[in-house]
């Protein structure tokens, strides 16, 4: 049996495969990113083991029966993270495995021959690329430390910040603040302050964060200047990361496929933002490119990698 894993900051998909790479089981688990877990790396180990045992449940097999596992995991952002994650895979009991950042999964799943760039805006931000020679490069993923802009958490925090500043500091109601109050049926300053309790707990109130992201793009469509400045910051961040990947790798076939992944880009973003994004990427790109919206679950990238490793 083989195992493909797409591990994120919100959920993790486990795909169990037989010797012919046919699906033998699926399981959807929780976050495996040590940055988002209260007990850090120990939480990552626990969640990965729990998810693997869950996908094996009822098969009569143990983790040691898995011949090879391929995993793309959020939170594998540098060499130390890589070493820690590989140690966890050994502790869990995988005999053979391949581990990388989850950003690379979309390249294997969406780009022809597994060559191209994937720009992800989900819970956070990540940019990954693979060239024809097999070179792999990744940027972003360190949140404010790397200047990431455009992930779901970033959008929610910045919308609330602008609403807070307008109401609490300036004592005035901007168009964004008014829309925020309407969206959540808030009346007073105290109501706005109380809404923070829901937004800072996305696990407990997931719909609140989704509604703020929906509000953000609706206000962008309305021409809200505060929101437009945030959208421009997001697009510039994307362009900077994609441009850096193009500089670091050698793409001999053009146009380079740039896959847009993550719920912010594939579910929430509107044409107004996507047009701005394409414009800014075009200004930063060193080679011709084409944007495509991700259409496959990222775990299929792990499946693609498994087949490549096993020569199938």
The predicted structure's pLDDT at residue 231? 98
The predicted structure's pLDDT at residue 118? 98
Is the pLDDT reported for residue 188 higher than 80? yes
Residues counted in the chain: 312
Task: State the span(s) of the chain assigned CATH 3.30.420.40.
Answer: 2-101, 104-295
What is the mean predicted confidence (pLDDT) over 8-19?
93
Structure tokens at 94: 């995988």
Whole-model pTM: value is: 0.92
Give start and end residues of each alpha helix (H) in the chain.
40-56, 79-92, 103-110, 152-164, 175-184, 189-199, 206-222, 225-248, 263, 271-284, 299-310
The CATH code of domain 104-295 reads 3.30.420.40
The predicted structure's pLDDT at residue 103? 95
Q: What is the percent of the chain where pLDDT is above 90?
A: 93
Q: Higher pLDDT residue, 8 or 138?
A: 138
What is the mean predicted confidence (pLDDT) over 236-253?
96
What is the mean predicted confidence (pLDDT) over 246-250?
96
Is the pLDDT reported for residue 202 higher than 80? no
The predicted structure's pLDDT at residue 168? 94
CA angle, 212 then 8 then 238, to 5°:
60
The predicted structure's pLDDT at residue 204? 74
Decide if 33 contacts 7 (C-beta within 8 A): yes
Q: Tell me the CATH class for 2-101.
A: alpha beta
Structure tokens at 16: 């169990």
Is the pLDDT reported for residue 265 higher than 90? yes
Strand partners, 16: 3, 25
The predicted structure's pLDDT at residue 82? 97
Strands 23-30 and 68-73, by their bridges, are unpaired
Is the pLDDT reported for residue 28 higher than 80? yes
The predicted structure's pLDDT at residue 9? 84
CA dihedral 213→197→102→302, nearest 10 degrees, is: -90
Q: How far apart are CA 74 and CA 128, in angstroms?
A: 12
Q: What is the percent of the chain where pLDDT is above 70?
A: 100
The predicted structure's pLDDT at residue 312? 60
What is the mean predicted confidence (pLDDT) over 14-39?
95
Among residues 182, 178, 184, 157, which one has the least CA distance to residue 166? Answer: 178
């Amino acid at each position: 049996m083989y195992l493909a894993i797409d591990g994120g900051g919100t959920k993790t998909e486990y795909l169990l495969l037989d010797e012919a790479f046919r699906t033998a089981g699926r399981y959807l688990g929780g976050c495996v990113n040590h940055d988002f877990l209260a007990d850090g790396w120990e939480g990552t180990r626990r969640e990965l083991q729990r998810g693997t045992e869950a996908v094996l449940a009822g098969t009569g097999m143990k983790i040691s029966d898995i011949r090879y596992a391929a995993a793309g995991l959020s939170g594998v952002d540098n060499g130390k993270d890589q070493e820690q994650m590989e140690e966890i895979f050994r502790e869990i009991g995988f005999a053979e495995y391949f581990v990388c950042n989850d950003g690379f999964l979309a390249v294997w799943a969406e780009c022809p021959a597994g060559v191209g760039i994937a720009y992800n805006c989900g819970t956070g931000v990540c940019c990954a690329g693979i060239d024809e020679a097999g070179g792999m490069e990744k940027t972003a993923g360190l949140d404010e430390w790397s200047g990431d802009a455009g992930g779901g958490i970033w959008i929610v925090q910045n919308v609330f910040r602008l609403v807070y500043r307008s109401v609490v500091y300036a004592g005035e109601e901007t168009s964004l603040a008014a829309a925020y109050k309407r969206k959540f049926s808030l009346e007073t300053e105290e109501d706005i302050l109380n809404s923070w309790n829901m937004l800072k707990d996305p696990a407990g109130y997931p719909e609140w964060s989704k509604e703020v992201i929906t509000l953000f793009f609706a206000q962008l469509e309305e021409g809200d200047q505060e929101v437009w400045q945030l959208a421009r910051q997001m697009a510039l961040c994307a362009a900077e990361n994609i441009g850096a990947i193009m500089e670091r790798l050698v793409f001999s076939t053009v146009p380079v496929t740039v896959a847009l992944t993550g719920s912010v880009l594939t579910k929430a973003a509107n044409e107004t933002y996507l047009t701005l994004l394409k414009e800014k990427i075009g200004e930063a790109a060193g080679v011709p490119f084409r944007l495509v919206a991700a259409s496959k679950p990222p775990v299929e990238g792990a499946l693609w990698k498994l087949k490549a490793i096993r020569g199938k």
